[in-house]
A and B are shown apart, each in its own frame.
Chain A
Amino acid sequence: MKKLIALLMVFSLLLSFTACNKYNDISENEQPTNPSAEAKTELTMAYTVDPEGLDPHRTAAASTFSVTNNIYDTLVGVTPEWEIIPRLAKSWKISEDGMSITFALREDVYFHNDRQMKASDVEYSFNRLKDAESPKARDYANIINVEVLDDFNIKFSTETLDVELLKNFAYPWTAIVPEEAVDNLKTNPVGTGAFILKEWVPQQHIILERNDNYYGDKAKLETVKLVLIPDATSMMAGLQVGDLDIIPLTGDQVTMIESNDDYKVLSKPMNAVQIMSINTDNEILANEKVRQAIALAINKDEVIEASMFGYGDKIGSHLPPTSPDYYDTNDTMEYNLERARDLLKEAGYENGFEIKMSLPKNYQLHVDAGQVIADQLSKIGINVKIELIEWGTWVSEVYGAKKFETTVVGHTGRLDSYDFLSRYYSDSQDYISLKTGEVDDLLNQALQELDVAKRTELYQEIQIILANKLPAVYLQTPHTLLGLNKNVEGMEIFPIDIYDYKTVYFTE
C-alpha cells in the first residue's frame, strides 16, 4: 500500500511540474514584445478533414485542393473577384472560331525537384487529367488535341465550341506535375508552387515550407502548419490559447470571436448553393403545383438562421449571388402559406401527404436546414419523415442511385454558370434535372454564345424557369467563415475551394 501511495505522489508531482512548466512558458510569451522585432513567419491553421492524398489529378476532394493549390500551380488563376489571371501561362490567345486556345508559358518556372517546367509537362499533365482514373476526366473530354508548339507554347483544341473553356484551366485539379514524380504524388507531391511539402502525418498535421526558388512573388510566411482538429470546441479553444492563428468557424461561434478584439472574422459568401432536391420521379412530387406549394411554405430566412446563424444569402435558383450571371429570382416563390395551401388544394392534396427527406448526417448544415424545413412543411399538412444517413450511403444511394424523395445538400466551387446549370439537361441522368426539356436549348445556346451579355441573358432565362418549375427548392448561399488572430493579414476567400497562403502575413 505504501508503494502505491508513493506512486500516486510521484504521479501528482509530475503533473504539477508539467503544469508549472507551462506557466513558465506562458509568462515568457506574455513578456512585452519588442516593437522592432520582426513579424512572425510561421502560420498555424486548423482543418477538419484530412486530404484524400495530395495528387490533384486523382481526387475530387476539396480537402485536397485547399492544400495542393499551394504546392502546384495551374496555367491560369482566379482572383477573389472572379477575374482570371496569369499563373504558369504568362498570356493566352483564343482562336477566332473559339475552338482552340494557345498558352505562352513562363520560362522561369522550376519544379520542386529543380527541373525546369516546359510545355511537354503541361501536355503530360493534361493527358493524365484525362485518364480513366481521373475523377475530372469527363470535364475535359471536349479537349481533343493538346499540341506542344515549342518548349514554352502549347495549344489546346476542342471538339465543339465551349465559350467558358479558359475558366477550366483555373481549377486546382489542372495542376501541372512532372512526369518523373507521378508515382508518389499522393504522398510526395512535386509541383512548381510557392510552398513545398515538408511533412504530412495523416490524422495529425501537414507542414508546408516556403519555396525560395518560386518564380513569382515569394511567400512572406516561412512555414504553414495545418493541424487536423475535427472537434469545433477544441479548435476554438486552440485559437484562444494562441496555438492556432486561423480556424474555420461555424455560425454560432462568430459572436464569440466578434466580441473580442484579439480576433477578427473573415466572412464571405461561398461560391455554392444549398438546395432542397426533389425527386420528380415521385408521383406526388412530379406535380409542379406541389413543388411550388413546398417552395412557398419554406421560410428561407428561418432556414438560414437555424443552419448558419444568419450567415447566408437567400437564393431563388441554382446560381450563387457571387456569380456574374446571377439573376435575383427570390420574389418568384416568396414565403406565403396561404398561397401554398391553395396550390396544394389545386393539386388535389388538400389533406397533405407524407414524404421522406434523406439528410447527410455528416453535414450539420444540411441536417439543420432539413429539420427546419420539415417543421415548416408540417404547417401546410406535409408530413416529412426525416432519415439521417451517413455520407457514403448518401452519395451512393441518393446521388448515385437516385433512391430518394427529397434531400438537402450543397453544390459548390464552379467558375462558370454552365457547369452549375448543366445538370438540368433533361437527359443529364443527374439526381435532379428538369425532365420537361425547357432548358435544354437555352443551355446549348449558352455554351455556343460568344457574346458575354447575350450569354448572361440566356442564363437569366434559365434561372427564371428553374425558379418557377422548381426541380429543387433553392435555399441559400452559405458564407465561408474564418476566425483569425488580429495580426494575420492577407487571407482571402476564393470562388473555388482553395486557400492561398502566399499572400498571408503577420503584422507583428
Chain B
Amino acid sequence: MIGYIINRIKSSIVVLFVVSVITFVVLMIIPGNPAQLILGTEATPEMVEDLHTAMGLNRPFYEQYFDWLFDFVKLDMGISYLYGESVTDLIFNALPVTLSVSVFSMVIATLMAFVFGIISAIKKDSLIDYFSRSIMQLGTAIPSFWIGMVFVVYLGLRMKLFPISGFVSPEDNFLEFIRSITLPSVVLAIGEIGLLLRIVRSSMLESLKQDYMDMARVKGLSTSKIYIKYALRGALIAPLTIIGMQFAKLVGGTVVVETVFALPGIGRLVLTAVEHRDIVLLQGLVMFITTFVIVITLAVDVIIMFINPRIKSFQRGEQ
C-alpha cells in the first residue's frame, strides 16, 4: 500500500505542475490587465504601461513563471498585490472558515443522507421512502443562494436565532462560532444532500440484493447486524467516494454561501482574486485547492481500501 501511495504522490506532483502551467498560461491569455485594473478609469495608456513595468508584468512569461515556481517550492507563494499580504497567510486565514463550514455541512449532509438513505432502502416504496426521495429532489433543485436568503430573513432577521453574517473564531467564543457557521452549513448541506442520499439509497438497495444477505438471514443473524455489518459495509464504497468529492468541491466552491453570509473563506478569496486580476493570489489559491483535492481523493482511496479488501488486492495486483 505504501508503494501505491508513493506512486500517487508522484503523479500528484505531475498534476500540480501541469495545473500551474495551465493557470499561468490562462491568466496571460484572458483579457484584464492588473495594472489597468488598479489604475481604473482615469488612467492613460502611458500610466498603465509604467505600472505594468513597475509590477514586473512585462517580463517574459517563462521568467515570471519560473520565478514563481522556485518560490513555491520554497513554500513562498508571493505577496498579493491587492492586499499587500503574503498569499500563504491569506490562504491560511481563510481556510479555517471554509473548513469549518465544509466539515459541518458534510457532517449534516452525511448524517441525513445515511439515516434517510438506509431507511428508505430498507423500507422501499413506503411513505418514508417517498419522503426521502422528495428531500433528494428538493435539495438538488433549490439554488443555495435562495435558501440562504430565506434563512437570513426568517431564522436570522425575524426569529433572531442565528447571526446573519460574519464568522466568529472558535478560540474567541465557541458557542458563537457554532452559531456563526450553522446557517451557512445547513444551506450547503441542503445542496449536497440530494446526491448523497440517492447514492446511499441505491448502494444499500444493491447491497441488500446480494447473495450474502440471504446467507446472513439463513444463518439467523439479528436484523440490525444484517443491515449494519453486512449490507451497510458493502454499501459504503460509493457514498464515501462521493463524500470525498463533495468535501473537496466545497473547499473551493463555497463562493455563493460565503457571499450571502459574509464569511471570509477560500471561495470569496478566489472570487476577489479573479475580479482584481491578482495573479499571485489566484495562482496560490489554484495550487492550494488542487493540492487539497488530490490529498482528499487519496485519503478516500486509502479509507476505501481498508473497508473493502477486494479493492486492496485489486490495486496491489495493478502494481
Contact of A7 among B111, B167, B259 (CB under 8 A): B111
Main SS class of interface, B: helix
Given the interface contacts A60-B40, A187-B84, does A237 sit within 8 Å of B156 by beta carbon? Answer: yes
Given the interface contacts A4-B111, A138-B47, A243-B164, does A234 sit within 8 Å of B41 by beta carbon? Answer: no
Q: Which range holds the interface residue count of chain B?
A: 35 or more
By beta carbon, the residue of chain A nearest B278 is A52
Say whether A409 faces chain B, with CB atoms less than 8 Å apart: yes
Give every chain B residue within 8 A of A229 (Cβ-Cβ): 165-166, 262
The reply to whether A392 and B275 form a contact with Cβ atoms under 8 Å apart is yes
State the CA gap A243–B167 with chains docked (Å): 13
Per-residue interface assignment for chain B, residues 152 to 191, with 1 indicating a CB less than 8 Å from any chain A CB and 0 otherwise? 1100110011111111000000010011001000000000
Stretch at the interface among A21-29, A117-125, A371-379, A481-489: A21-29
The reply to whether B276 and A397 form a contact with Cβ atoms under 8 Å apart is no
The reply to whether A392 and B276 form a contact with Cβ atoms under 8 Å apart is yes
State the CA gap A238–B162 with chains docked (Å): 12
Give every chain A residue within 8 A of B42 (Cβ-Cβ): 60, 411
The reply to whether A390 and B83 form a contact with Cβ atoms under 8 Å apart is no
Given the interface contacts A22-B160, A26-B160, A227-B262, does A14 sit within 8 Å of B51 by beta carbon? Answer: no
Least CB distance, B167 to chain A, in whole angstroms: 7
Least CB distance, B154 to chain A, in whole angstroms: 10
Q: Which range holds the interface residue count of chain A?
A: 35 or more
The reply to whether B261 and A234 form a contact with Cβ atoms under 8 Å apart is yes
Per-residue interface assignment for chain B, residues 275 to 319, with 1 indicating a CB less than 8 Å from any chain A CB and 0 otherwise? 111000000000000000000000000000000000000000000
Least CB distance, A103 to chain B, in whole angstroms: 25
Q: B138-164: which residues lie under 8 A (CB-CB) from chain A?
A: 149, 152-153, 156-157, 160-164
The reply to whether B275 and A233 form a contact with Cβ atoms under 8 Å apart is no
The reply to whether A241 and B165 form a contact with Cβ atoms under 8 Å apart is no
Say whether B67 faces chain A, with CB atoms less than 8 Å apart: no
The reply to whether A400 and B45 form a contact with Cβ atoms under 8 Å apart is yes
Q: Contacts A61-B38, A204-B264 given; 14 further ones with Cβ under 8 A? A: A15-B182, A52-B276, A135-B38, A137-B47, A138-B47, A227-B165, A234-B152, A234-B164, A234-B260, A241-B164, A390-B32, A395-B37, A396-B31, A396-B32
List 26 A-B residue pairs with CB atoms under 8 Å apart, sorted by A's residue number.
Answer: A18-B178, A21-B175, A22-B179, A23-B160, A60-B39, A135-B47, A135-B51, A137-B47, A137-B50, A138-B46, A187-B85, A202-B83, A204-B167, A227-B165, A231-B165, A231-B259, A233-B152, A233-B153, A234-B262, A237-B156, A237-B164, A240-B157, A392-B31, A400-B45, A400-B48, A430-B44
B residues adjacent to A (C-beta < 8 A): 30-33, 36-48, 50-51, 53-55, 82-85, 90, 93-94, 111, 115, 149, 152-153, 156-157, 160-167, 175, 178-179, 182, 224, 228, 259-262, 264-265, 268-269, 272, 274-277
Question: Lowest 8 A-B CB distances belong to which pairs?
Answer: A186-B84, A392-B32, A203-B264, A204-B264, A53-B84, A229-B262, A133-B54, A237-B157
A residues adjacent to B (C-beta < 8 A): 1, 4, 7-8, 14-15, 17-19, 21-23, 26, 50, 52-53, 55, 59-61, 132-133, 135, 137-138, 184, 186-187, 201-205, 227-231, 233-235, 237-238, 240-241, 243, 362, 390-393, 395-397, 399-400, 409, 411, 429-430
